[in-house]
A and B are shown apart, each in its own frame.
Chain A
């Protein structure tokens, strides 16, 4: 039988842990609400953006802009891997990095050079242990980021693609589907696939002729780099919402585990207590029997 006091200490410790996990759960849920609101606020911009680009890109031929042109031979692949900075959110980060590593190895097996831009500490830590070169790492940014983070990553991506350093850019991030579901997802950012832009089906112009200023090509040259940023920003927002949702769930589980642990420990405690009482009674009875005799 374990000593009474040890069990008591253990129970208290578990209770303290439970308080922490519960608090973390609540913090995560508040942050999740925030992140979801940001996605909501981003939507009007993104929708309008896709609409505009869809209208423009329809008539344009791929050679008007270097970003629309796929490179003849894909030699170097850049992965943009977005994870959170902090752990304690279940398998969330692991899922993303595992997927990214697998993808990187696959591309490497095809004879391509793989380079990585890491966003989030977990992504960097994972790739630092691998053989792939980390071009850039953004650590401690996921906590409070805004559109400029997407612009900064975008500058590297676009510059590298236009300059011929990278021939393909793939973003790995945690897609936010619902509270209970987050999926590690990979999205080919570059080369831009025309079908994807044609995705914006809503034809607001209704066949009306726009006046373009500057020309269609000039506008595309302004729009396309921003489109990359918009994609990246979406990835960042999704990952951040997913992170908080995943943390909420894992902290919820942890809190429940604490409850289970406390009740099973209480059982042990009570058993030990009863055993002690029984033993004492036996001693007393034994003693009085001996006196009688």
Chain B
């Protein structure tokens, strides 16, 4: 009997997701990690990136930024400052953001604060686009 994980994703603005899933993969600050049912209690900070969770064997994706993951029993709680489902991602905006971030990186390679910010922005935009792509791929592959 396969157990399920209860996945909950909350942001300050709303409850993004509350679902029963088979697997959760998330971008930890120290690298990606995967969680299956029966995991030990676990608390981790998340970086900028894409979460992948499996539902009925099919992968689904979610973009998160600035958050924490808590695993307790069979419940996975993600607290994120931003969390977006693939269909909510604004691709144009992400593309523009990437462009802007790259320009800024070129211009201000020496200034540290701006550099870090631009880099984070760049990563967010890239990850947003990737999230959309992977979701699309998964959808077409699943049929």
Contacts and interface: CB of A to CB of B under 8 A. Distances in A.
Interface of A: 38, 41-42, 44-46, 48-49, 52, 55-56, 146-147, 150-151, 204-205, 208-214, 218-219, 222-223, 226, 230, 233
Contacts of A223: 45, 68
Nearest to A37: B14
Contact of B43 (A49, A146, A211): A211
B28 A213 contact: yes
Nearest to A233: B12
Contact of B45 (A42, A208, A213): A213
A151 B13 CA distance: 13
B15 A41 contact: yes
Contacts of B79: 45, 48-49, 52
Contacts of A214: 29-30, 44-45
A212 B15 contact: no
A147 B41 contact: no
A48 to B, nearest CB: 6
B12 A45 contact: yes
Nearest to A55: B43
A38 B14 CA distance: 8
Contacts of A222: 29, 45, 68
Interface in B26-53: 28-30, 33, 40-45
Interface of B: 10-15, 28-30, 33, 40-45, 66, 68, 70, 72, 77, 79, 81
Contacts of B10: 44-45, 48
21 contacts: A41-B13, A41-B14, A44-B10, A45-B10, A45-B11, A45-B12, A48-B10, A48-B79, A52-B79, A56-B43, A147-B12, A147-B81, A205-B41, A209-B41, A211-B43, A213-B28, A213-B29, A219-B45, A222-B68, A226-B81, A233-B12
Q: Which of A42, A44, A150, A218 has the most CB of B within 10 A?
A: A44
A226 B68 CA distance: 11
Contacts of B70: 48, 52
Contacts of B77: 48
A42 B13 contact: yes
B65 to A, nearest CB: 11
Contacts of B72: 204-205, 208
B44 to A, nearest CB: 4
Contact of B44 (A41, A48, A55, A212): A212
Given A48-B77, A147-B11, A230-B12, A211 B40 contact: yes
Contacts of B12: 42, 45-46, 147, 150, 230, 233
B32 to A, nearest CB: 11
A226 B66 CA distance: 9
A211 B41 contact: yes
A278 to B, nearest CB: 68
Contacts of B81: 147, 151, 226
A210 B41 contact: yes
Contact of B42 (A42, A44, A204, A211): A211
A208 B28 CA distance: 21
Chain A CB count within 10 A is highest, among B10, B40, B72, for B10
Contact of B30 (A38, A45, A213): A213
A52 B43 contact: yes
Contact of A147 (B13, B15, B45, B68): B13
Contacts of A208: 41, 72
